[in-house]
Structure 1
Amino acid sequence: MINIPTLTVNEDSITVFSEEALPQHVRGGMVLTKRIDALNLRIRTSDAGYESDWHVAGDPTLIVIQSGILRITLRNGEHKDFSTGSMFIAKDYLPKHIPFDTEKHGHCAKVIGNETLLAVHIKLEQI
């Protein structure tokens, strides 16, 4: 089993950290998850010091950090740092009937340290 840190929303549509557990199996000497379909991928760079506004991910996206450190912060102040080789799934989207509240919803991201962030964004599905 592989556990991937995940941004999702709770029953009050507040962004929270959780984990998504993906079962694995052995195939030809490799330990693999089942096939995960994806829609597209993008290569991202963000300069040292980059900071986003509060936002939600929208479409579920697997983010794989190639270099640098990305800090994800929640509204309650909790944060996690993702560095070279780590990954997480961002899927903290809101149902269409709930408008984004700039004081309540989402997470923010910041590049920590002096290194440029290089990451791969893989869109897993479209909502």
Structure 2
Amino acid sequence: MNQPFIIPTINTNENGISVFEDIDFSVQQRGGLFISDQIGAQNFRLRKSDVGYATDFHLAGDATFISIQKGSLKIEMQNGDFKIFNPGDCFIAKDNLPENIEFDSEIHGHKASVVGNESLQAIHIKL
């Protein structure tokens, strides 16, 4: 029996605009646990960012699974939509543009900032 396993994802819509989308990585019961099919990964990195860290609008480039270990990370879209990810939360950043569209920081991408009074610690897994 499949069980939903929803992961918030930063994706690019048909107009090249970064948007939040929930992706279902359904899991199946196997020997007393629920687990997904294998998902290929290339590498992982450990991340730390200080309180007050913030980026300009940018694209993910390579698809990356991010798991928050400590602190809180706010991800904001160009239209003002945002989500705050806390310890135990995860998301995938995979917004990118086709080669024929040039990045415009007034239109494309998302930005990230550490919020609250605790530094951020996260794991980045390149997919």
Report TM bin, short chain: over 0.9
> 2 CA distance for matches of 1:98 and 1:26?
43
Amino acid at match of 2:52: G
What CA deviation, in whole Å up to 9, does each residue of 1:30-50 have, x standing for no partner? Answer: 100111110000000000110
* Moved segments of 4+, more than 3 Å: none
> 2 CA distance for matches of 1:116 and 1:102?
26
> 1 CA distance for matches of 2:30 and 2:123?
25
Say if 2:54 is the partner of 1:80: no
Residue 43 of structure 2 is matched in structure 1 by 40
Written as runs of structure 1 = structure 2, the 5 A alignment for 1:81-120 is 81-120=84-123
> 2 CA distance for matches of 1:64 and 1:105?
24
The percent of aligned pairs where both chains have the same amino acid is: 50
What TM-score does the superposition give when structure 2 sets the normalisation length? 0.96
Alignment gaps of 5+ in structure 1: none
What TM-score does the superposition give when structure 1 sets the normalisation length? 0.96
Alignment gaps of 5+ in structure 2: none
> 1 CA distance for matches of 2:105 and 2:78?
10
| CA-CA distance at 1:76 after TM superposition | 0.5
Amino acid at match of 1:108: K
| CA-CA distance at 1:110 after TM superposition | 0.4
